[in-house]
Structure 1
Amino acid sequence: MQTDYDPQAVEAAAQRYWEDNQSFKAVEDRSREKFYCLSMFPYPSGRLHMGHVRNYTIGDVIARHQRMLGKNVLQPMGWDAFGLPAENAAIQKGIPPSEWTKSNIDYMRTQLKQLGFGYDWDRELATCNPEYYRWEQWLFTRLMEKGLVYRSQATVNWDPIDQTVLANEQVIDGKGWRSGAPVEKREIQQWFVRITDYAQELLDALDGLDGWPEQVRTMQRNWIGRSEGVEMRFGIEGSDETLEIYTTRPDTLMGVTYVAVAAEHPLARRAAEDQPALAAFIEECRKGGTSEAEIETMEKKGHPLGLNALHPVTGEAVPIFAANFVLMGYGTGAVMAVPAHDERDFHFAHKYGIPIRPVIVPEDWKDLALEITSAAGTPAESRPVVAVPGDASRVPLDWSQWDARFEQKGVLINSGPFSTLTSSDAFESIATWLTKHDKGRKRVNFRLRDWGVSRQRYWGCPIPVVNGPDGSLRPETDLPVRLPENVVVDGSGSPLKKMPAFSDLPGGETRETDTFDTFVESSWYYARYCSADCDTAMLDERARYWLPVDQYVGGIEHAILHLLYARFFHKLMRDEGLIDCDEPFARLLTQGMVVAETWYREDADGRKQWINPAEVETERDEKGRLVRAWLAADGLPVTFGGIEKMSKSKNNGVDPQILTERYGADTVRLYTMFTSPPEQSLEWNDEGVEGAFRFLKRLWWLATTEAETIRGAGDPAAIDLDEATGEARREIHGVLKKARFDYERQQFNTVVSGCMTLVNVLYKLDPDSPARGTVLREGLAIVLRLLAPIAPHVTHHLWRELGFGEDILGSTWPEVDAAALVQSTIDYVVQVNGKLRDSVKVPADADRATIEAAALASENARRFIGEATVRKVIVVPNKLVNIVAN
């Protein structure tokens, strides 16, 4: 057998074997325990990056391990193929998005195969294929019939030059990413799915997802945002209209001094008809952001409507403002403002000269007295902070500077009949009062909004709806509604709107030209893998066998949208009778990012020009600290920009293709698994890649040079082991025991570390020991199986060459030999007066007297005891002996 490790030849041969033998083809078998392992499928951007490689290696390691445990494993792969990047590439390259996408899929599929991932390629799918998206169209028509979808006005980012809707990430400094035109807010008709009908179930079911990281569950709980509050009606002075407002803090109701509405609110629009300044403000708001994150960071601005709202309890008139921090798409588009007890409201009130009325103080203030001064500044009276009922005419505190304590719940003041109540008691009392007087009611509310699934883009799944000439809507019956593919995209609106052959139907009907949000495709792909070749139904009986996914792997950045939408879609499919389980993913692993050093120089304009780390040379001190860095090409200095996620923008990525060609796929896989636990970030280090390669060469050398010895060795149970080989065998089975545990808890880095230890043990075996061959054979049989999920090619080759069997994938997982772990002797540390002085070896079954005697007889212990008297001997079983002498 060749002693030089040639990874390219080894890996090509292993991959041919797996393909010829359909090693990863999954067939339903109800007599076997199934295991469905899935990594989040990629967008076919053109090339894999290291984030892909890490994600898919983790998934493949888990799948291969489960296969070796005897389970029936499904691990498929596909492509999240619709989306904006294909349209952008089509604009730049002048080719149809379908052509660009399919070319990228072909290239990336080759890359995945070169990395040795064990996918069932017969189940491959691409979401841009009509055979796939016809079924989400079918489900949408079913949801229409059930009343779970509807069309309504929604606010979007609108590019007035390109005449198209922009995603939030396409708005750069308030301008369209391509046209550079100032972006406007515009209301257009959008399609929505009623995810809010499932909000409580989605929230409650999180408690049962024990296999998910708590961080992800918390993020989803917060996103769903269940709250218990009060919905109330404020009157409009001089009108019969009312404003519906929801609050979770009715205890602050008596402190309302103004009401704010969204700039798009009908009340604001009507008021602006004869107020040019207000109309200008509303127009300005149209150019602002539409996301919560943008609203949070922008300057808070407002404009009075010239109208007053009437307080539901006191009837007091308070001004109504149009404000840029109120979103029409959230709640009712109107909020009550309590500047004394909300920081945003506080600063807004100061800015526009609105009164501030404190109505709550912390409970520990309730017994404090205030000194009230006269106009001359002399003490006039002293009275409690918490005034008695009926004494609400005066404001005892002046909130001139914001204090976070003002937001706390506490005891009510200045609140008429509700004064002196605690916040919790006031919640109930105010809710009861409002209900009794038909001014409001208690209500459970959710932060979660219905899912807007319309996109005014071309490269997506057509929404299967037909518009009648009378304005009626009906679901399309002839499915799939195929997306025309031979289309050139120019960026100025969706081509579908300009294609009568697509949109115009007989009888004056027209086809919907919006396409689905691409999250729709990714919300059910995991289920379609189970019956990917079924052309008669969305899913068939095979889905009931495979689902739920036993292990899902992907980044935590998908914690909210994708993972929440997938859970929702799963429940929709369940309620359609397609599946019989409640959740899509039993266990979730969120892998950390791949990060690397960044380097840059600044150009003449002060802009950073990022330089790839491979082009930088460095000098470091003995502690690894950076001394200086320079560009290899010109020797001139570069600046360290920190450790950042690998990205094109920071130019700090590493091309997996180059690494695979240089070191082989097994080295890349081994390095990504060894460097850090899966859930933590992986900091890239070229020297670490070299170290992984050296380890595989070392393993290869040991196996190939000892092949003849290994093939002829016998069973360790049939041979007497000397002390050294017995100790080696104990270490081997100790590593195996820990590795079994580490695989269960998915700590693959310590599995690799254990295998390195094991190889070192095998290298150190006494060449003259009669038992060497036996222990060497057993040890290699164990280390190859432990490494097989992580470095599958080299272990496949060595397993066959050493005569262990035809295919390591079909071998049984190694069992720990409990007898091998039994120690015949134990090393005890010997201390004298708490200081280490010696060590002794005693029989494992020695009694306390024997252990004490051995410690007292040790040469170094006797020397340090000297003439002192031994007062006490302390024995810590299996660890140490401490001799106390003076």
Structure 2
Amino acid sequence: MEYNFRKIEKYWQKYWEKNKIFHVKENEKQKYYILNMFPYPSGYGLHVGHCLGYIASDIYARYKITKGFNVLNPIGFDSFGLPAEQYAIQNRKHPNYIISKNEKKYTNQIKNIGISFDWNRKLKTSDKNYYKWTQWMFIQIFHSWYDKNDNKAKPIQSLIKEFIKNGNYFVNANTSYLCKFDSKKWKKFNDNEKENILQNYRLAYLCKSMVNWCPDLGTVLANEEIKNGKSIRGGYKVYKKQMLQWHIRINAYANRLINGLNYICCSSSLKKSQINWIGKTKKITVFLEVLHSKDKKIIEFTLLHPEKVFGITFAILSINHPYVNNISLSADYKKKVKNYIEKTFYINKKNITGVFTGNYVLNPITKKLIPIYVTNFFNMENSMESMIGIPAHEEKSKLFSEKFGINTIKVIRFCNKKNQKVCYNSDFLNGLPINIAREKIIKILINKKIGELKISYRIRDAVFSRQRYWGEPIPIYLKNKIPKTIPIEKLPVILPEIHNFQPKNGKSALFRAKNWAWDEKNMKIVSNSFIDYKSVFPIETNTMPSWAGSSWYFLRYMDVTNENFFLSKKKENYWKNVDLYIGGSEHNTGHLIYARFWHKFLKDRGWVQTEEPFKKILNQGMILSFSAIILKVIGKNIFVSYGLKEKSKVFHMFQEIYIDIFFIENNNHLNISNLKKIRPEFYNSIFILENGTFLCKRKLEKMSKSKYNIVNPDDIYKKYGADVFRLHEMFLGPIVQSKPWDDKKINGVKKFIKKLFNLFHQNGVFQVLETDPTFEEFHILHYTIKNIEKHIQLFSFNVCISYFMIAINKLLILKCKKRKILEPLIQLLAPFIPHISEELWNKLGKQNSILYHPMPIIDVKYIKKNKITYPIMFNGKFKFLEEFDYNIEKEEIKNKILNNLKTKNILKKNIVKKIIFIPKKIINILF
């Protein structure tokens, strides 16, 4: 009897859906919440790299169900954002149409590989019933401030009460002066003056700042949306531009974001990337008075190397520093600064430009004049508002000083690294080690009251405005330039229907909406023609970034149908937070920072209980694939076979072009006729062959649609079945490591499935015996149970599969068809290959799904102590298992392994450099 995977898999997928096997509700069982990072429904659909995390999480979810847990494993779509909008612009389709179409494709692909998602809880960020609560949360953030004394967010009304009662200090938004007012003065402030002060405290605030501006996309981009100065989406150039933008004061949570990592189980590399992104450092800040300043302007500068203070020869301000417009005393210099700022609208990373302000600060130690410049140079790199230059000891400062002819002063003349004695251009520091000299200078600066030790963070407040149509509308209207929130009872503010989604001149396409004004009296959205700035006001036209909706979606899954609140206390008390969060390492910074911040804010305000949203985070490795690259002669429609690159005497300048691996034959030969037929842009191209063929370059890299090297899972499970695909994907290597996709090895997994099927059949007829197993048969079973239990909890699914293969081979040799062995064996296999497991379980006479039956338990009396099995690894990659006598000597094990035929086939002509032997654990051969 043949294993008809198409019929079997389709049947059980319908069975699961019809019987709502994966639909979960709160009950008396212990909960386990497992979650995949929010997918975006791309038009290309899933590739096998995406499936890696889904299959891994599904295996673990099914395993936890059989261990008696109530498992929540939901799915949804991060459907707002730039990709859908760009596709809509290019194809003149509405983004909602694009998203709906893509969502159906994703859903079918996911169901076809048997993932145990609870589709009843499906959500998408572009659903008005979802983004209603995103808007509600933004309003709460806007109406909150961060109390550093209590280290938590509080309602802004509590701060206003403090102002009314006692007065307070604030940083003036226009001058950056530290000011103090008394309570009587607060009462006399007009609305503008009050809001001006509150903007310095609100967690969501409006201010002008330098942002990442992409003219081709017509929008601001976050740092994580840029790579090498270009947008990840489309590869367009990104510039710096000063714009009035909404910001979220994430910086206030910096220390809590670092401390919270202690409560998350994750890799050290993830923690390191989070800590580096936040960037906590202890620095000395000096406060220097601007000379010839009527109002005694004070500028803060950070001294990274205080012992080099003698070498300061210039100071710079970024073009968005609050002093740039009024630091120059003479009209001539003011004009020069103004002209420079206007011409430096875009920041070019390669050009060093600047202008002298005509003013100075004093070196705090030497009392020498330090000229102040306005420049774009340093700001491009680190977004600092002010900086000091020490050109003798800093490469960037040196470049700037050379451009403007500024003198350099060498501070350290000699450093004896052996005993750390340093020779300075200063008598009172001479001979001191760097760390002692640094402490001495810091002490002097503090005693002179011109310096202060401060903890600073690299993380900046997040820009929250996007000049896009396809995003959550920001529920704000502008009343005489003062931001006001739309009443909560009138949410959601629904994204209006428009036809032209193209941004223009830094404005979102929402500026074209005809009905985008707020009638304050009647509390409703009305036509723009009614705007009178008395009772009807314009609504904010920027939209939220895509990370707004993806920063809290895991909470909504707990209570997805609740219309009265985003999450009930009862549901949150049960599910609390995510027990296992699975996703790619590319989300280790931006997304995780935003989501953790958002959760901490909700906790501060009493809407959730937990400080951290995720207990354990697992980063899956990437699936790699060989991309195909052809050579194009720059400036010509001519392509040259790759082998002729170095030999060509006619053409010398080439660019590399990625093409779809669909056009490749025999490993690296390009099928030119197919390429011209399917890709019309190549129809009139000239292809220069070598030896009658056209060769391309093959490069192993991340599977990506941009590199045209994706493998569609549809093709795999149509040919081999979902269970074979699932097993093959997990057998490629450790889940946390990157590994190449290999079609050739899939036949080995196919043979294993066939062997399993045959274990339950005799001459094509299902046959299971009721006779009692032998000790050896019990040993094989319980030895397998022991190792599967151990490795499945370590997420070492590839090792689990190796143990399954060994067990099946041994049972086939013994011709074991006994129920007491095969029944628990198929239970162990069920999380990995659920379709065939359900089929065989049903044939064993079981009525309910195999998921309703608990995982078999090990009986230690069947685990023999006279044998031990070692995983054999080569250069850190698992290859096979080998069994030895339990008390065998270490050297004898090494000799047997080196003389093993499997070892010789793997090593071939390679020489063994080292053998790492960890007793009773692993053997790793390095070559």
Band the TM-score falls in, shorter-chain normalisation: 0.7 to 0.9
Q: Which residue of structure 2 lines up, in the alignment, with residue 320 of structure 1?
A: 372
Q: State the alpha-carbon separation in 1 of the partners of residues 764 and 15 from structure 2.
A: 22
Q: Which residue of structure 1 lines up, in the alignment, with residue 910 of structure 2?
A: none
1:473 to 461, 471, 484: 484
1:541-580 to 2 correspondence within 5 Å? 541-580=570-609
Q: Which residue of structure 2 lines up, in the alignment, with residue 519 of structure 1?
A: 547
Please state whether the residue corresponding to 2:120 is helix, strand or coil: helix
1:205 pairs with 2:217: no
Q: Which residue of structure 1 lines up, in the alignment, with residue 724 of structure 2?
A: 667
Q: State the alpha-carbon separation in 2 of the partners of residues 437 and 179 from structure 1.
A: 53
Q: State the alpha-carbon separation in 2 of the partners of residues 801 and 793 from structure 1.
A: 13
Q: State the alpha-carbon separation in 2 of the partners of residues 254 and 676 from structure 1.
A: 56
- 1:673–1:749 CA contact under 8 A, matched in 2: yes
Change (3 A) 1:249 1:286: same
1:153-172 to 2 correspondence within 5 Å? 153-158=208-213, 165=220
Q: CA deviation at 1:196?
A: 1.7
Q: CA deviation at 1:262?
A: 1.7
Q: CA deviation at 1:532?
A: 0.7
- The residue type paired with residue 435 of structure 2 is S
Q: Which residue of structure 2 lines up, in the alignment, with residue 36 of structure 1?
A: 33
Please state whether the residue corresponding to 2:286 is helix, strand or coil: strand
2:245 to 190, 198, 203: 190
Q: CA deviation at 1:633?
A: 6.1
Q: Which residue of structure 2 lines up, in the alignment, with residue 873 of structure 1?
A: none
Q: Which residue of structure 1 lines up, in the alignment, with residue 811 of structure 2?
A: 762
1:223 pairs with 2:277: yes
C-alpha RMSD of matched pairs (Å): 3.5
Q: Which residue of structure 2 lines up, in the alignment, with residue 259 of structure 1?
A: 315
Q: State the alpha-carbon separation in 2 of the partners of residues 345 and 54 from structure 1.
A: 47
1:26-105 to 2 correspondence within 5 Å? 26-29=24-27, 31-46=28-43, 47-105=45-103
Change (3 A) 1:781 1:631: farther
Q: State the alpha-carbon separation in 1 of the partners of residues 227 and 60 from structure 2.
A: 41
- 2:413–2:425 CA contact under 8 A, matched in 1: no
1:247-326 to 2 correspondence within 5 Å? 247-268=303-324, 274=332, 282=341, 285-288=344-347, 298=350, 300-326=352-378
1:489 to 492, 496, 501: 501
Q: Which residue of structure 2 lines up, in the alignment, with residue 238 of structure 1?
A: 292
1:358 pairs with 2:370: no
Q: CA deviation at 1:629?
A: 4.6
2:121 to 111, 120, 123: 123
Please state whether the residue corresponding to 1:221 is helix, strand or coil: helix
- 2:131–2:492 CA contact under 8 A, matched in 1: yes
Q: Cα deviations across residues 584-609 of structure 1 (Å, max 9, x unaligned)?
A: 11111101111111223223433334
Q: Which residue of structure 2 lines up, in the alignment, with residue 835 of structure 1?
A: none
Q: State the alpha-carbon separation in 1 of the partners of residues 74 and 757 from structure 2.
A: 31
Q: State the alpha-carbon separation in 1 of the partners of residues 91 and 341 from structure 2.
A: 39
- The residue type paired with residue 479 of structure 1 is L
- The residue type paired with residue 416 of structure 2 is D
Q: Which residue of structure 2 lines up, in the alignment, with residue 785 of structure 1?
A: 827
Q: Which residue of structure 1 lines up, in the alignment, with residue 651 of structure 2?
A: none
Q: State the alpha-carbon separation in 1 of the partners of residues 253 and 544 from structure 2.
A: 20
Q: Which residue of structure 1 lines up, in the alignment, with residue 461 of structure 2?
A: 450
1:340 pairs with 2:382: no
1:637-648 to 2 correspondence within 5 Å? 637-648=694-705
1:505 to 498, 505, 519: 519
Q: Cα deviations across residues 129-156 of structure 1 (Å, max 9, x unaligned)?
A: 1111111211222222223221111223
Q: Which residue of structure 2 lines up, in the alignment, with residue 594 of structure 1?
A: 623
Q: Cα deviations across residues 453-508 of structure 1 (Å, max 9, x unaligned)?
A: 11121111111112113635345432111112454423434231122312353513
Q: Cα deviations across residues 184-231 of structure 1 (Å, max 9, x unaligned)?
A: 64322211222122111111121232x111101111111111111112
* TM-score normalized with structure 2 length: 0.76
Q: Which residue of structure 2 lines up, in the alignment, with residue 391 of structure 1?
A: none
Change (3 A) 1:236 1:329: farther
Q: CA deviation at 1:162?
A: 8.3
Q: State the alpha-carbon separation in 2 of the partners of residues 795 and 162 from structure 1.
A: 49
Change (3 A) 1:181 1:75: closer
Which shifted more, 258-267 or 594-603? Answer: 258-267
- 2:80–2:471 CA contact under 8 A, matched in 1: yes
Please state whether the residue corresponding to 2:567 is helix, strand or coil: coil
- 1:458–1:496 CA contact under 8 A, matched in 2: yes
- 1:174–1:288 CA contact under 8 A, matched in 2: no
Please state whether the residue corresponding to 2:281 is helix, strand or coil: strand
Q: State the alpha-carbon separation in 1 of the partners of residues 487 and 364 from structure 2.
A: 48
- 1:616–1:632 CA contact under 8 A, matched in 2: no
- The residue type paired with residue 481 of structure 1 is V
Change (3 A) 1:760 1:613: farther
- The residue type paired with residue 29 of structure 2 is R
Q: State the alpha-carbon separation in 1 of the partners of residues 615 and 571 from structure 2.
A: 18
- 2:623–2:740 CA contact under 8 A, matched in 1: yes
1:702 pairs with 2:759: yes
1:21 to 19, 22, 31: 19
Change (3 A) 1:178 1:282: farther
Change (3 A) 1:121 1:519: same
Q: State the alpha-carbon separation in 2 of the partners of residues 99 and 133 from structure 1.
A: 18
Q: Cα deviations across residues 741-778 of structure 1 (Å, max 9, x unaligned)?
A: 1101000001111111111112111x5xxxx443xx34
Q: CA deviation at 1:287?
A: 2.3
Please state whether the residue corresponding to 1:466 is helix, strand or coil: strand
- 2:289–2:361 CA contact under 8 A, matched in 1: yes
1:808 pairs with 2:850: yes
Q: State the alpha-carbon separation in 2 of the partners of residues 176 and 56 from structure 1.
A: 28
- 1:304–1:322 CA contact under 8 A, matched in 2: yes
Q: How many residues align?
A: 762
- The residue type paired with residue 733 of structure 1 is H
Q: State the alpha-carbon separation in 1 of the partners of residues 356 and 502 from structure 2.
A: 43
Q: State the alpha-carbon separation in 2 of the partners of residues 805 and 180 from structure 1.
A: 55
2:747 to 690, 694, 713: 690
Q: State the alpha-carbon separation in 2 of the partners of residues 458 and 155 from structure 1.
A: 22
Q: Cα deviations across residues 373-420 of structure 1 (Å, max 9, x unaligned)?
A: xxxxxxxxxxxxxxxxxxxxxxxxxxxxxxxxxxxx974722454444
Q: Which residue of structure 2 lines up, in the alignment, with residue 836 of structure 1?
A: none
- 2:664–2:671 CA contact under 8 A, matched in 1: yes
1:743 pairs with 2:743: no
Please state whether the residue corresponding to 1:212 is helix, strand or coil: coil
- The residue type paired with residue 617 of structure 1 is E
Q: Which residue of structure 2 lines up, in the alignment, with residue 833 of structure 1?
A: none
- The residue type paired with residue 511 of structure 2 is K
Which shifted more, 163-172 or 326-335? Answer: 163-172
Please state whether the residue corresponding to 1:358 is helix, strand or coil: coil
Q: State the alpha-carbon separation in 2 of the partners of residues 538 and 217 from structure 1.
A: 30
Q: State the alpha-carbon separation in 1 of the partners of residues 864 and 234 from structure 2.
A: 74
- 2:378–2:384 CA contact under 8 A, matched in 1: no
- 2:760–2:817 CA contact under 8 A, matched in 1: no
Q: State the alpha-carbon separation in 2 of the partners of residues 432 and 825 from structure 1.
A: 67
Please state whether the residue corresponding to 2:822 is helix, strand or coil: helix
Q: State the alpha-carbon separation in 2 of the partners of residues 498 and 815 from structure 1.
A: 65
Change (3 A) 1:169 1:142: closer
Q: State the alpha-carbon separation in 2 of the partners of residues 472 and 748 from structure 1.
A: 53
- 2:416–2:422 CA contact under 8 A, matched in 1: no
Q: State the alpha-carbon separation in 2 of the partners of residues 365 and 734 from structure 1.
A: 58
* TM-score normalized with structure 1 length: 0.79
Q: State the alpha-carbon separation in 2 of the partners of residues 681 and 845 from structure 1.
A: 36
Q: CA deviation at 1:638?
A: 1.9
Which runs of 5 or more residues in structure 2 are unaligned? 146-202, 521-534, 635-653, 675-691, 870-882, 890-918, 921-927
- The residue type paired with residue 663 of structure 1 is Y
